[in-house]
């Protein structure tokens, strides 16, 4: 059982879309995505620097657009289909499109709105996020609570992402829990916390008018790692997730329970396959960072069908 996973914010790097635009029709598709999202994604993915693509209003549609471009390219090359999909944070919107819950067009419209609404919410208070790697989970959570920080992402593989106001994050880094490393993330706000509640209301109003279908393949939710079978509920969970913790640890536990035998991460790939290598040891993974990686993904799918 091979599944596809879609990364979240922070995975983008300057120029990472350049090689993808060499594929037939990719530039035209990305230009259409740009109109739907309200961002020049061609320039963002090929020319803009790290600070420009760190902007939440840019990063979120850029990541989803890249994921859908690489997803389409994979399906064009492979006669074998993946057996399920899941996305991390904003990657859930790409997963909804890949599973048929949303059209690509609606996915880009929603993620454009999501990015702008979350950027506006983040501007109200100076906040951020830091990954806490290693250590005892109970001790880490106690330290976060003492500093008024929120565990925004339970990523599994010994990683929890803390979110909150910048002085508290600085204090966490200065006095990290025993056995941990604290790594500041390239994001512009405390996502998946109470600071994002205004964005939830904006996104909920927009999502109410979007046409949805039930998933055509297995679809996991970040809310608790379970499989979602109703399209409207899947979209409602993604909306609520903006101010709720991401439980990627539970998604990976569910992958194991469901018998997942391989994971393909779509562009901009690397983070989720890295977590899988630590939490799902022995499970083959392919990170599709560029078109050169598509052959490895197709081979993994063919091996599963053999």
Report the catalytic residues.
Answer: 89, 192
Helical residues (DSSP H) of 125-262, grouped into ranges: 137-147, 166-174, 197-207, 231-241, 248-257
Measure CA 114 to chain center.
13
Q: What does the alpha-carbon distance between residue 65 and residue 43 come to, in Å, rounded to a whole number?
A: 13
First-to-last C-alpha distance (Å) of the chain? 12
- Quickly count: other Cβ atoms within 10 Å of residue 290's Cβ: 17
Q: What does the alpha-carbon distance between residue 90 and residue 242 come to, in Å, rounded to a whole number?
A: 9
**Residue among 189, 15, 24 at smallest CA distance from 118:** 189
* DSSP-based three-state secondary structure for 209: coil
């Amino acid at each position: 059982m091979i599944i596809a996973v879609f990364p979240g914010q922070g995975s983008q790097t300057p120029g990472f879309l350049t090689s993808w635009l060499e594929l037939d029709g990719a530039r035209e598709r990305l230009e259409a995505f740009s109109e739907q999202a309200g961002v020049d994604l061609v320039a963002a993915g090929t020319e803009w620097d790290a600070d420009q693509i760190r902007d939440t209003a840019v990063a979120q549609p850029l990541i989803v657009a890249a994921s859908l471009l690489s997803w389409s390219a994979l399906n064009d090359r492979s006669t074998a289909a993946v057996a399920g999909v899941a996305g991390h944070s904003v990657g859930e919107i790409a997963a909804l499109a890949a599973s048929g819950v949303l059209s690509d067009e609606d996915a880009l419209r929603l993620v454009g709105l999501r990015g702008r609404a979350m950027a506006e919410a983040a501007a109200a208070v100076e906040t951020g996020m830091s990954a806490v790697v290693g250590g005892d989970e109970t001790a880490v959570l106690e330290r976060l609570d003492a500093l008024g920080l929120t565990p925004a992402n339970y990523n599994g593989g010994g990683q929890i992402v803390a979110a909150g106001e910048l002085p508290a994050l600085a204090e966490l880094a200065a006095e990290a829990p025993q056995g941990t490393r604290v790594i500041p993330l390239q994001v512009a706000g405390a996502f998946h916390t109470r600071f994002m509640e205004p964005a939830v209301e904006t996104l909920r109003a927009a999502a109410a008018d979007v046409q949805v279908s039930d998933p055509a393949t297995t679809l996991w939710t970040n809310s608790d790692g379970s499989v979602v079978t109703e399209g409207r509920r899947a979209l409602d969970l993604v909306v609520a997730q903006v101010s709720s913790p991401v439980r990627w640890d539970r998604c990976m536990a569910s992958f194991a329970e469901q018998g997942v035998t391989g994971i393909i991460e779509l562009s901009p790939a690397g983070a989720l396959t890295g977590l899988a290598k630590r939490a799902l040891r022995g499970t083959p993974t392919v990170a599709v960072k560029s078109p050169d990686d598509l052959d490895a993904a197709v081979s993994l799918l063919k091996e599963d069908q053999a």
